[in-house]
Amino acid sequence: MIFIAAGWILLLLVGGGYALDKVLVSAVTRNFDDQLKLLVNSMIVSAELGPNGEVVLSRELADQRFLEPNSGAYWQISGKGYETFPSRSLWDRKLQVHPSHDDRDIHYYDSDEFPEQRLRVAEIDLKLPNSPVRWRFQVASARDTLDGQIGDLRRTLIRSFLLLGFGLVFMAALQTWFGLSPLRKIRSELSRLRAGQTTRIEGSMPAEVAPMVEELNALVEHNDRQAEEARRHAGNLAHALKTPLSVIMNAAAAGQEDLPETVIREARTMRRQIDHHLARARAVGRRGSAHSRADVWPSIEAVERAVARLYPNVRIDIDGTKNIVAHIERQDLDEILGNLVENAAKYGGGSVFVTARVESGFAEILVEDDGMGIPEVDRTRIFDRGVRLDSGKPGTGLGLAIVRDVAEIYDGTVSLEESEDLGGLLVRLRLPAAAPAA
């Protein structure tokens, strides 16, 4: 940033300095030329015709330098057919007369005709009254004074612009250094965070950086929650597997005759626990946030076809809005709906009704059946792992627990109610709704 600022400052100062130099040099030169023009006009006003038609001056020009040889100030009057009338300062020299010039208006130019002096010349051609000859009036002045003024001007300009450039670059560097100091502070805080000396980025920050700090703190808290969640589930899984393993080890050590049955039973228990925690781990790993999107209706249709093949005697009807999109991965949505619809088909009386709709910014899916339902006192504990109200049918008792856990991961909810239409159980699944794709 400092080098880029310095480059732009240098470019702008060079461009501005060049333009300003042109303007000021032009102004100084124009002022010098105005003085020459004043002298030319004084010559013309003083010019008279002599007895032989030549031009003479009725009075000398006021500048004393015109009387001193090689003084650097000269005038000359010339006309075709007449001797040149020079100032005394020219002594034995003459100013060049360029016949190619047609100076109806006053003309200024630089001349190197005198080796020791560079001249600035002003000249004009005109006819005097009663004279058929076109006379050329010339005034020349050494450029020493003009060049000295331009040199002083340019030195002042260069020094001023150098000082301005250094000042601007210094201020840009200072601004960059102090402007980025919050980032250095954040870097230090992140280093302390990584070393375990703090749990979040502390301290006041400028308004431009504060949102980033808030997001970093939110990210750290999110990662901490995920890490804590992972540790908790790892501990839960280890605790859940510890008891079945102890039973198997004790049975094996005691040489019990029903060891195979014990191993099979406890292995099923361990498998249920592993399936449950794997389902949660997959959902937590995939919940990206708002990037997760799934079309609800295709998922309902896919689940309806799969469950209909498993339970051909159950009638499954689906209805509702077909363009609903929810913030959830399609695989997790299929797993949730599969559990809910399969439970309704398994424990219902033969009819299942699935409705999809949008309600208050949520994709709401209702799964109803015509079974016995669940008593209100049992509707909370049925979500606990391994709880089964009907042990006469195959199952692990983990279906609703997985549904609840996965739904909560995506900031959704699942609740149990009584179906008014079918008289059995109504499961209300609510997931954050997403805008349909254009």
Residue pLDDT, tens place only, 128-185: 888 888 889 999 999 998 999 999 999 999 999 999 999 999 999 998 888 888 888 8
Residue showing tokens 């199952």: 395
CATH 1.10.3470 is the classification of domain 2-150:
no
Nearest CA-CA partner of 289 in 402, 403, 409, 435:
409
Q: Can you give the pLDDT at residue 285?
A: 58
Q: Can you give the pLDDT at residue 266?
A: 81
Would the pLDDT of 395 be above 80? no
Q: Can you give the pLDDT at residue 366?
A: 94
Task: Output the 3-class SS for 386-409.
Answer: CCCCCCCCCCCCCHHHHHHHHHHH
**Region class of 288: left (phi > 0), else alpha (psi between -120 and 50), else beta:** alpha
Q: Can you give the pLDDT at residue 249?
A: 84
Burial class (CB in 10 A: 0-12, 13-18, 19+), 437: exposed
> Residue 247 contacts by C-beta under 8 Å, 6 or more apart in sequence?
262, 266
Q: Can you give the pLDDT at residue 421?
A: 85
Average pLDDT, the chain: 84
Q: Crossing angle of helices 210-254/259-286, nearest 10°?
A: 170
Name the DSSP letter for residue 375. -
Yes or no: say if 91 and 72 are a contact pair by the CB < 8 Å rule.
Answer: no
Please state the rounded mean pLDDT for residues 249-259.
81
CATH 3.30.565.10 maps onto the chain at: 294-434
More confident position, 10 or 59: 10
Please state the rounded mean pLDDT for residues 273-296.
67
> Residue 172 contacts by C-beta under 8 Å, 6 or more apart in sequence?
1, 2, 5, 6, 9
Residue 287 binned pLDDT confidence (cut-offs 50, 70, 90): low
Would the pLDDT of 438 be above 60? no
Helix ranges restricted to H, 180-209:
181-194
Would the pLDDT of 210 be above 70? yes
Q: Of 91-95, 355-359, 370-374, which has the strongest mean pLDDT?
A: 355-359
Please state the rounded mean pLDDT for residues 113-138.
89
Beta pairing class for 362-369 and 47-49: unpaired
More confident position, 314 or 198: 314
> Residue 328 contacts by C-beta under 8 Å, 6 or more apart in sequence?
292, 293, 294, 410, 412, 431, 432
More confident position, 238 or 317: 317
Three-state DSSP at 437 gives coil
Q: Can you give the pLDDT at residue 408?
A: 84
Q: Which of 91-95, 109-113, 226-230, 288-292 has the lowest mean pLDDT?
A: 288-292
Three-state DSSP at 2 gives helix
Would the pLDDT of 386 be above 70? no
Q: Can you give the pLDDT at residue 282?
A: 63
Residue 384 binned pLDDT confidence (cut-offs 50, 70, 90): low
Yes or no: say if 44 and 126 are a contact pair by the CB < 8 Å rule.
Answer: yes
Would the pLDDT of 81 be above 70? yes
The number of residues making up the chain comes to: 438
Nearest CA-CA partner of 425 in 352, 338, 358, 355:
352
Residue 392 binned pLDDT confidence (cut-offs 50, 70, 90): very low
Give phi and psi for 55, each to the nearest 5.
-95, 135
More confident position, 44 or 232: 44
Residue 397 binned pLDDT confidence (cut-offs 50, 70, 90): very low
Please state the rounded mean pLDDT for residues 250-279.
78
Please state the rounded mean pLDDT for residues 404-428.
88
Structure tokens that stand for 44 in this block = 């013309």
- pTM of the predicted protein model: 0.49
| CATH of span 294-434 | 3.30.565.10
Residue 387 binned pLDDT confidence (cut-offs 50, 70, 90): very low
Would the pLDDT of 115 be above 90? no
Please state the rounded mean pLDDT for residues 412-421.
89
Q: Can you give the pLDDT at residue 15?
A: 94
CATH 3.30.450 maps onto the chain at: 2-150
Q: Can you give the pLDDT at residue 399?
A: 61
Determine the residue type at 403. V
